[in-house]
Amino acid sequence: MQDALNAYKQGNLNYALRKVQEIIEKSESQEAYNLLGKILKEMGKDDEALQAFLKAGNRLEAARIYLQHGLYRDALNQLKDLNDKDARILRALAYIKLEEYEKAREELTNIEDNSPITLKAKGIADYYMGNYYDALRELSLAIEAYPYDAELFYYRALTKIELNMDPEEDLNTAISLNPYYAELYYNKGVVLETKGKIEEAIKFYSRAIEVKPQLVKAYYRRAKALMKMGKEDEAMKDIESVNQIKNSGSS
């Protein structure tokens, strides 16, 4: 077992995988399955890693994989009755994705942890619960610790909008970190439109639609902006697009 563990720590994953599989063939154990799960996860084999963690009884790691794949209820089932700090943080993240923000914030109560993931969870939950000053502080601390997460800048931008602060710089940073996040372009368009920069706003609404063609609100905002510029025919095309999306049930 130590040979496989050393190989894993040194990054020799193929050798570690072979050794731990040999161990499991001779004698199954939770320890061996747990190591197998870690190796498979680092090799990008999440489905196999999940099965290994389940056999190991490692519900925390199984929940992480479910979360990464958008299976939030499955993650919560794995975390049931687990009340250590890591489990509560993962539960909070699942509740946020399920838009159950009060439950998320409740999970994070009295957790003294300044890791970026915890601060992010607290910040997003506080934003949706209307605790904007708390959200601003938490998201700012998270950004200070880890300035590479587009969502952190996106939610801080949304928070700044609620606090009548200028969010444009945060939106620009978020776009540079994740240029395929349609909501960023949409909100940048809204900010520009409120500043009277209608033509620029239209460009950002168009980019949002390009990234996510089913983003109905972007068509609405672009139509209104086009109306302001006297381009009624183009605006009506956007309204027609909205109707088509709604009729197709893909909005």
pLDDT digit string (tens) for 80-138?
Answer: 999 999 999 999 999 999 999 999 999 999 898 889 999 999 999 999 999 999 999 99
Name the one residue in this structure whose structure tokens are 């197709």: 248
Would you say residue 67 lies in a domain? no
- The pLDDT value recorded for residue 4 is 86
Name the one residue in this structure whose structure tokens are 């990464």: 68
- The pLDDT value recorded for residue 247 is 85
Question: Residue 190: CB partners within 8 Å, gap ≥ 6?
Answer: 201, 221
- The pLDDT value recorded for residue 248 is 81
Read off the pLDDT of residues 215-249 as tens digits, 9 standing for 90 and up: 999 999 999 999 999 999 999 999 999 999 888 87
Would you say residue 81 lies in a domain? no
Count of the separate structural domains present in the chain: 1
Residue 183 in this model has a pLDDT that exceeds 60 = yes
The first and second tokens of residue 105, run together, are: 């914030």
Residue 251 in this model has a pLDDT that exceeds 70 = no
The first and second tokens of residue 33, run together, are: 């399955």
Mean pLDDT (the chain) is 94
CATH of the domain at 201: 1.25.40.10
Would you say residue 221 lies in a domain? yes
Residue 50 in this model has a pLDDT that exceeds 70 = yes
Give the Cα separation of 75 and 63 in Å (integer): 4
3-class secondary-structure state, position 163:
coil
The first and second tokens of residue 126, run together, are: 């506080």
- Backbone φ and ψ for 163, nearest 5 degrees, come out as -95, 10
Residue 31 in this model has a pLDDT that exceeds 90 = yes
**How many Cβ atoms from other residues are within 10 Å of residue 51's Cβ?**
17
Give the Cα separation of 68 and 208 in Å (integer): 24
Which has the closest alpha carbon to 17: 26, 9, 8? 8
Would you say residue 8 lies in a domain? no
Which has the closest alpha carbon to 165: 154, 174, 173, 156? 156
Would you say residue 200 lies in a domain? yes
Question: Residue 170: CB partners within 8 Å, gap ≥ 6?
Answer: 153, 154, 156, 157, 160
Would you say residue 30 lies in a domain? no
The first and second tokens of residue 50, run together, are: 């999940």
Tell me if the pTM is above 0.85.
Answer: no
Residue 21 in this model has a pLDDT that exceeds 80 = yes
What range does the domain containing 196 cover?
179-251
Name the one residue in this structure whose structure tokens are 């905002």: 221
Would you say residue 37 lies in a domain? no
Would you say residue 198 lies in a domain? yes
Q: Are 97 and 72 in contact (CB under 8 A)?
A: yes
Residue 196 in this model has a pLDDT that exceeds 60 = yes
The first and second tokens of residue 40, run together, are: 């498979």
Residue 250 in this model has a pLDDT that exceeds 70 = no
